[in-house]
Structure 1
Amino acid sequence: MDWEERVLPSIGNEVVKAVVAQYNAEQLITQREKVSRSVRDALMARAADFGIVLDDVAITHLSFGTEFTRAVEAKQVAEQDAERAKFVVMKAEQERNAAIIKAEGESESAKLISDATKQYGYGLIELRKIEAAKDVAETMSKSRNVVYLPNSGNMLMQINPNQ
């Protein structure tokens, strides 16, 4: 006569344990509807063995033990750390590639300047000296610590192209 207190809890635990064992923790959380449907179908079939007809079954609360919860959280943290490490490696590789490309460009630039100097003389170097002197003069003129610019010769290194 007390079937709802004797039969339902025992077949409920039996069915829930059997169904939950088929899924991992992530699936239990992400595929909640599928798990609920599996529990409902299995529980209805098992209750029918006892002549009990169930209209519906709903999973209202799903919880895990503290150790299991900590293990799931640790796994998630480890996965996030792995993703972060992968990103750092990819970033370092991109920076390395950028440095290589920059170095190749600078090398090509130096080669072209060297070739131009050999072919056309030191006019380009003199032009660069003048541009650098202009930049230095402009910077110094904006500084509060400089009252005047001395006119005692060239402010850059003396490079004699004839030597």
Structure 2
Amino acid sequence: MQSKFIDRGIAVVVGLGTVLSLAQASMYDVKGGYRAVIFDRMNGVHLTSSGEGTHFLVPWLQRAILFDVRAKPRNITSTTGSRDLQMVSLTLRVLHRPDPSQLPVLFQKLGTDYEERVLPSIGNEVLKAVVAQFEASELITQREVVSQRIREELNIRAKEFNIILEDVSITHLTFGAGFTSAVEQKQIAQQEAERARFIVEKAQREKEAAVTRAEGHAQAAEIISKAISKAGPGLVEFRRIEAARDIAATLANSPNITFVPSDKTNMLFSLQK
């Protein structure tokens, strides 16, 4: 009798354990920021996904696959050629997430590692196509335009795979040694051209100044010539007397100077100390 009770107890415990195991296996939790896609062994992938919370499924027959639908960053690096055949290395930072409404299709076509399969390939494709439309120097001077063009093209390609891009930005941009050398040579050429322009302008200014001085001397000579022809020799004599008087006054005011008149009659000595 006692053994029957023991057997019944064991059966009850086993039954309860089985029920609890089945109950636990028939439930699954979807954490915040995740969605679940159900795979059915009989009917395949369900066309709808499950949101956050606790849900039920048929054990063994059904399985839940969780997808993180929060935005995640990824870097894409590519080396390609510009329109003027300069090698350019770019790195994009792409903030992406799956389209929650298309998770079953995304799982069917690409699986859970969709970003590894899609983003590097379409990123390189778009980078090569856009960079080829610009010269190397334009990638620097028109960086915002280039970034916007890449963002637009990459968004179009990502939507074809049910991926949403929140943000796309260029984080790294370098050029080959040939472009760096060309930039340095261009800067040197610009400096030489600027120096040559300065020399030409200086010579032109000096030429204009010389012409102005020559014109001034010519005009002064013409005025003097007209004055002499009009006043006769008296003007010249008058100017000579004025000059001699100024010289005599200067000498008389200078110390240790003796003035001897032309007739040698009187001598003037400076009395200044």
Q: TM-score range by the shorter chain?
A: 0.7 to 0.9
- Secondary structure at 1:122 match in 2: helix
- Secondary structure at 2:166 match in 1: coil
Unaligned runs of 5+ in 1: 142-146, 155-163
CA distance in 1, matches of 2:118, 2:166: 16
Residue 151 of structure 1 corresponds to 259
Please report how far the alpha carbon of residue 6 of structure 1 lies from its aligned counterpart in structure 2 after TM superposition. Answer: 3.7
Q: Please, which of 162, 169, 172 is the counterpart of residue 58 of structure 1? A: 169
Give 1 or 2: higher strand fraction. 2
- Secondary structure at 1:23 match in 2: coil
CA gap of 1:80–1:148, structure 2 versus 1, over 3 A, is same
Q: Please, which of 119, 128, 131 is the counterpart of residue 8 of structure 1? A: 119
- Secondary structure at 1:63 match in 2: strand
1:42 aligns with 2:150: no
TM-score, normalised to structure 2, is 0.46
Please report how far the alpha carbon of residue 152 of structure 1 lies from its aligned counterpart in structure 2 after TM superposition. Answer: 4.9
- Secondary structure at 1:61 match in 2: strand
1:31 aligns with 2:136: no
Q: Which of structures 1 and 2 has the larger relative contact order (alpha carbons within 8 angstroms, sep 6+)? A: 2
Q: Percent identity?
A: 49
Residue 240 of structure 2 corresponds to 126
Unaligned runs of 5+ in 2: 1-111, 263-273
Please report how far the alpha carbon of residue 109 of structure 1 lies from its aligned counterpart in structure 2 after TM superposition. Answer: 0.7
1:112 aligns with 2:223: yes
Residue 183 of structure 2 corresponds to 72
CA gap of 1:132–1:12, structure 2 versus 1, over 3 A, is farther
* Offset from partner CA, 1:46-98 (integer Å, 9 cap, x none): 22233322121011111112221121121122123213322321222122112
- Name which one, 1 or 2, has greater alpha-carbon Rg: 2
Count of aligned positions: 147
Letter in 1 for 2:160: D
TM-score, normalised to structure 1, is 0.72
CA distance in 1, matches of 2:245, 2:181: 65
Letter in 1 for 2:148: R
Q: Alignment RMSD, CA only?
A: 3.1
